[in-house]
């Protein structure tokens, strides 16, 4: 079973974090996608009052992990009253997967209304063609 949980032990991510352009003031977080046999991916992000910033994602080239990781961060942002998301992801393959999942469009790396994204997910689940 897929689980997305924030990890408090970020020591193994230090090499990745050092390569990212995370501002010193940013209180960043790391969540992991795990299944029975271990960690399958991660997402590095931070919350500011006006937006959630996503710095890096590793989904093991699995769209389900990508979708779960991003949606978990967006859901937490929505609970905090944040409506905007910014993707500072530079990996072209990851950007293609984010576009395929409709998190980004037309080379834009922002979501202006997280609620719309989350509502569209509910509509997709209600579509009989997806059952």
DSSP secondary structure code for residue 128 in this structure? G
Domain 3-130 CATH class label: alpha beta
Q: For position 68, what pLDDT does the model report?
A: 95
Q: What is the pLDDT of residue 105?
A: 79
b/e sequence 98-121, b meaning 16+ C-beta within 10 Å:
beebebbeeeebebeebeebeeeb
What pTM was computed for the model? 0.87
- With a cut of 80, say whether residue 128 has pLDDT above it: no
Domain boundaries, the chain: 3-130
Q: Supply the pLDDT for residue 127.
A: 39
Query: Is residue 108 predicted with pLDDT exceeding 60?
Result: yes
Tell whether the model's pLDDT for residue 131 goes beyond 90.
Answer: no
The total number of residues shown for the chain amounts to 131
pLDDT at 121: 56
Model confidence at 97: pLDDT above 50: yes
């Amino acid at each position: 079973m897929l689980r997305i949980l924030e990890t408090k032990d970020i020591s193994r991510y230090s090499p990745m974090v050092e390569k990212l352009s995370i501002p010193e003031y940013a209180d960043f977080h790391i969540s992991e996608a795990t299944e029975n046999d271990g960690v399958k991916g991660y997402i590095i992000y931070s919350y500011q009052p006006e937006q959630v910033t996503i710095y890096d994602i590793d989904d093991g080239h699995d769209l389900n992990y990508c979708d779960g990781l991003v949606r978990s961060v967006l859901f937490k942002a929505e609970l905090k009253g944040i409506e905007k998301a910014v993707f500072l992801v530079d990996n072209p393959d990851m950007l293609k997967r984010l576009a395929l999942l409709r998190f980004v469009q037309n080379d834009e790396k922002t979501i202006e209304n997280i609620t719309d994204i989350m509502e569209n997910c509910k509509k997709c689940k209600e579509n009989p063609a997806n059952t």
